[in-house]
Amino acid sequence: MKSASENSLPRRALIVDNDPATLESTAALLKLQGFAVTTASDGAEALTVFARDWYPLVIVSRNIPTLDGIEIASRLRVIALAPVYVIMLTGSTDARDHELGYCAGVDQYLLMQNYPGELVGKAEAGLVAVRRRRSSRTDPTDELAIVDLENGAHTARHLVGRLHAEIAQSARSRGILQILSVELHTDDDQMFARLNLGTSTSNALLQAVHDAIRPKLDWVARLPAPAHTCRIAVVMPESSPVDAPAVEQRIRNAFVHWNTESALSDVRLSCGLATLARNETPPTALDFLGQAERNRRGKDNARTGIFHVQRESVA
């Protein structure tokens, strides 16, 4: 049975594209899923339509007349009086272009080479995110994750936007910025509960991280992860070289009785660190997060961290 919040959210979408074929096919796919669809062929028309009515879901092409997709996303964030989920349709895989969109207000990217197979999944994920943003009810444990991609309430734009600002501040202050990537995996997510520890894998790691970080300085993001796994990014601005190892050790101490270093342990903990040092050329937020993820996995993986977790979030 659907909750009242689910029933009160209209399945309404605005599609913005100057290509009639793409506009028609996108609208047809969403209509089959019960969406009421409105279309616009350029940016000015799209903003006019949106200003007259609220659309919880907006799908916009990257390159359209009058205003491009990134400018539309930015202006939607200004005029929207209620939460809106923005999906950008693009043929580009350039990380810097994607980061520009995230900082402007794009929630998800939909690559043309994956369209239309992923359209419906991303649209449904968008409605889930909007429902959760509208809800005032939160689990106290969830408050430990400032940016929570795992539960669908936040998206890559929230994480990338905030991390982008931290990188810019680090460059101005010439301070050290660090990201500690932490993953906790068990063979059974209910193992903690069955042992009367009263928690799940995700909440166990969140609590350990919360107890380890520096109050009012460090912040965390919970990233989408496979079953029985929790993945956390700890962002440490204005830090010193000893701060990240100290946080990592405190987190490891919280699980020391599980002997996580052993291959036979029921609980496995892995960590990886990325550091932006003084006078270093600032990377993109995507590259910086990806470096921490690669270091945690212990191998060079071509996918950046954010692309990796986005793929898992809609799988």
Compute the residue count for the chain: 315
CATH tag for 143-314 (out of 3.30.70.270, 3.90.1150.10, 3.90.1150.220, 3.30.70.260):
3.30.70.270
Residue 145 — very low, low, confident or very high, per pLDDT cuts 50/70/90? low
Q: Which of 58-72, 76-90, 125-139, 249-263 has the lowest mean pLDDT?
A: 125-139
Decide: 18 and 65 in contact? Cβ < 8 Å: yes
**Quick one: pLDDT at residue 73?**
92
Q: Where are the domains of the chain?
A: 4-134, 143-314
Q: Which CATH superfamily is domain 4-134 in?
A: Response regulator (3.40.50.2300)
Nearest to 43 by CA among 21, 82, 14, 81: 14
Contact 273, 179 (CB under 8 A): yes
pLDDT value for 195: 57
Residue linked to tokens 């993109």 = 284
pLDDT at position 136: 47
Residue 309's region, left for phi above 0, alpha for psi from -120 to 50, else beta, is alpha
The answer on pLDDT for 4 being more than 50 is no
Instruction: Note the pLDDT tens digit of each residue in 83-101.
Output: 899 999 999 998 889 999 9
Cβ neighbours of 48 (radius 10 Å): 10
Which amino acid is residue 40, in one-letter code? A
160-207: pLDDT as tens digits: 888 988 898 888 887 899 999 999 988 766 666 555 555 677 888 888
